[in-house]
Amino acid sequence: MNALERVLPAPIPTQDSQPFWDAAKEGRFLIKRCANCGKAHWYPRPLCPFCLSDDTVWLDSAGTGVIYTFSVMVRAAAPFVLAFVTLDEGPTLLSNLVNCEPGALAIGQPVRVLFRASDGEYPVPVFEPASNRQTTLPRAIADSALRAADDR
Ligand SMILES: [Zn+2]
């Protein structure tokens, strides 16, 4: 079973989240860090949830983390996996796990972000097992390189 072959609903950017969605269109995953206390937070917002400072800055996340917990939605028409992912920068966020075998997932497993098209203008960040990509090449190039290797 390959999880999540469903179309995700389009996000509706707000004034505060617009930079996040603009970056998502470029394949960049932004989070926010507080310049006062130094902690990163999710979701992006103008006030730091730890110290209430309004001195927050956008930060390009590495997009890597681990599964904090997950749940397989087996009763959906197209089964999918919801998960809380703890980013290497610290914050934990709710997302979807894709390109995975749900029965082989484990808490603590390394994952990394990728973007899936939504039914609107902006792509949505989801995560896949980090073991799917042992390369730093862009995914499309890596996939075509793998196909070329398979053809040999
Ligand atoms: Zn702070």
CA 124 to ligand 1 center in whole angstroms: 26
What pLDDT is attached to residue 6? 76
CA 44 to ligand 1 center in whole angstroms: 12
What pLDDT is attached to residue 3? 46
What pLDDT is attached to residue 129? 97
What ranges do the domains of the chain cover?
Answer: 18-151
CA 66 to ligand 1 center in whole angstroms: 23
* pLDDT band with cut points at 50, 70 and 90 for residue 76: confident
Strands (E), 7-152: 30-34, 40-41, 56-60, 64-73, 80-87, 92-97, 110-116, 124-129
At residue 19, φ and ψ (nearest 5 deg) are -60, -35
pTM score, whole prediction: 0.82
* pLDDT band with cut points at 50, 70 and 90 for residue 4: very low
**Start-end of H helices in 30-138:** none
CA 2 to ligand 1 center in whole angstroms: 40
Domain spanning 18-151: CATH 2.40.50.840: yes
Over residues 27-44, the pLDDT tens digits come to: 999 999 999 999 999 999
Please give the average per-residue pLDDT across 3-30, as a whole number: 90
Amino acid in position 110:
P
Radius of gyration of the chain (CA): 17
Average pLDDT over all residues of the chain: 89
Over residues 106-142, the pLDDT tens digits come to: 999 999 999 999 999 999 999 999 999 765 555 555 5
CA 49 to ligand 1 center in whole angstroms: 7
Over residues 66-75, the pLDDT tens digits come to: 999 999 999 9
Query: What proportion of the chain, given as a percentage, has pLDDT over 70?
Result: 84
Is residue 1's pLDDT more than 70?
Answer: no
Q: Which residues surround ligand 1, an ion (CB under 5 A)?
A: 34, 36-37, 48, 50-51, 53
